[in-house]
Amino acid sequence: MRTFQAAAVVSIVVSALIVFSLIGRAVSFVTEVDLSDLAAGGWFPRRSMFGLPTILTGSVIVAGIAMLVAAPLGLGAAIYLAEYARPRVRKVIKPVLEILAGIPSVVVGVFALSWISPQIIGRLSGDAGLFNMAAAGIGVGVLVTPLVASVAEDSFRAVPMSLREASYGLGAKKRSTTTKIVFPAAISGVVASIILGISRAIGETMVVLIVAGGTGGAEFSLNPFNAGQTMTGAMAALARGSDQVRGADQAFPSLFFVGLLLFLITLSLNVVSERYVRRVRQKY
């Protein structure tokens, strides 16, 4: 019992230390940097341009495209698995989905660069370069789909059989039972799955680093077919040293500021989704 307690304490202490070190260095970055640099028209740490709008919109665009892929695919798969698949089919598909969730993100990143970008984005827009935010978004969407599917499926399966029977007993077809009874009854779980998906998509790094084209810096852009930088991509490039240069003293500390920002965003998303999940457990 002592050992488990120690393990719990250590993990909490480590988390707290991470947050404290983030806060400390983030604060020193903000106090030392020229605040107008934070509103620069691009993210070029080597030139002391820390344009937060650039990486914030980059994250939103990539996560948004990711969810355009992951929400319909994930929810569709969840409905199929929970409501339509025969037990035998389910026994095969469910583990496949779980394996998909285990694919290393670097593999998806390479796939996004070698196939999604030229084959899908290249065909959608002739102007798009090989490195662009849209390809990164689709790649992240592929990564996030199993998570959305799994959380949503759990919430569909948590809807009691008796509600489906009541619906069938009133002469409802399978389709109306699924869309008008099961789906609304599981709505908090569905929302939770989407929020968790967004949180995961914003936090995803490797695919963005490989294919979004932000290493070395990026101009502010709202066009997903352009190269761009996200918060995570910016952090990775800084940490690796590729976005640093002698003389740009603020480049490295900016890493902690962005890290804190990212931490706060994903934390609040997770708290919100946790609340929804709890609501789904209380019902019926």
Partner 1 sequence: MRKMETTTPVEQQAPSARVVTSVRSAGEDEGAVNPTVFDIENLSVFYGEFKAVRDVSLAIEERKITAMIGPSGCGKTTVLRCLNRMNDLIESARVEGRVQYHGIDLYDTQVDPVEVRRRIGMVFQKPNPFPKSIYENVAFGPRIAGFKGDMDELVDQSLRKAALWDEVKERLKESAMGLSGGQQQRLCIARAIAVEPDVILMDEPASALDPIATGRIEDLMQEIKQEFTIVIVTHNMQQAARISDMTAFFTAEVSEQNDRRTGVLVEYDKTEKIFTNPSNERTENYVTGRFG
Q: Strands of 218-219's sheet, edge to edge?
A: 49-50, 42-44, 218-219
Q: Indicate the residue among 173 and 240 with the shorter CB distance to partner 1.
A: 173
Q: Indicate the residue among 47 and 279 with the shorter CB distance to partner 1.
A: 279
Q: In angstroms, what is the minimal distance from the CB of 284 to partner 1?
A: 6
Q: Indicate the residue among 71 and 185 with the shorter CB distance to partner 1.
A: 185
Q: Indicate the residue among 47 and 157 with the shorter CB distance to partner 1.
A: 157
Q: Indicate the residue among 87 and 247 with the shorter CB distance to partner 1.
A: 87
Contact 231, 201 (CB under 8 A): no
Task: Give the integer Cα–Cα distance in Å for 82 and 95.
Answer: 14
Q: In angstroms, what is the minimal distance from the CB of 282 to partner 1?
A: 10
Q: In angstroms, what is the minimal distance from the CB of 185 to partner 1?
A: 5
Q: In angstroms, what is the minimal distance from the CB of 89 to partner 1?
A: 12
Q: In angstroms, what is the minimal distance from the CB of 160 to partner 1?
A: 7
Q: In angstroms, what is the minimal distance from the CB of 184 to partner 1?
A: 7
Interface contacts to partner 1, rule CB under 8 A:
86-87, 160, 162-173, 176, 180-181, 184-185, 283-284
Q: Indicate the residue among 44 and 156 with the shorter CB distance to partner 1.
A: 156
